[in-house]
Amino acid sequence: MVKIGVLGLQGAVREHVRSIEEAGAEAVVIKRKEQLDEIDGLILPGGESTTMRRLIDKYDFMDALKDFAAKGKPMFGTCAGLILLAKNIVGYDEPHLGLMDITVERNSFGRQRESFEADIPIRGIGESFTAVFIRAPHIVEVGENVEVLAKYEDRIVAARDGQFLGCSFHPELTDDQRFIKYFIQMVEEAKSKQLA
């Protein structure tokens, strides 16, 4: 069984833990950078990206997260986590982790009160997945090796760049574990390659 970490600094941590466990993997809340050595994949949850960045810096996680990625271990950013993964953020000079070859725009779907749900098709997952958007970003453009997995009203809302997966919405806020299972499968494949 693979171990999936959830970065436990801020955001929808408990909901991700529940999703991972319901999808059949072991979940670990990551509060210290040393714990990254114990896990096979990591979820960067939704929350507030600037607050999360402050906490990443405060607890000295930045280099440890980059090292984790350099080992080929999969990472999944949801909502604010997507912003943390992106190489470019509209209106900002510097990215956060800068790992995923995408450009994102923050709060593209309006403020908190404009939160909504929409059924969207996700490539490799299903024709209809209920996506919960809360102050969501969207992907403005992708690099040539990035696979677009889902769009909503012509905006890219889910993509995969090798070992990195990102989405604008909150899969952990539904009882549909297919997207989390997709990530778990990525982690299993990466782990079996590392063991090979």
Question: Which residue in this structure is represented by tokens 């990254």?
Answer: 36
The answer to whether residue 79 is catalytic is: yes
- Catalytic pick among 16, 96, 138, 170: 170
Query: How many Å apart are CA 39 and CA 73, to the nearest integer?
Result: 9
Sign of CA dihedral 180, 150, 100, 105: negative
Those residues whose C-beta lies under 8 Å from the C-beta of residue 98, and which sit 6 or more positions away, are 86, 87
Task: Specify which residues 133 forms β-bridges with.
Answer: 116
Comparing C-alpha atoms, which of 181, 196, 192, 195 is closest to residue 76? 181
* Tokens 């919405």, residue located: 169
Catalytic residue among 15, 16, 167, 172: 172
Cα(115)–Cα(131) distance, integer angstroms: 11
| 170 given a catalytic annotation | yes
Q: Is 167 a catalytic residue?
A: no
Residue from 15, 16, 79, 105 carrying the catalytic annotation: 79
Q: Catalytic residue numbers?
A: 79, 170, 172
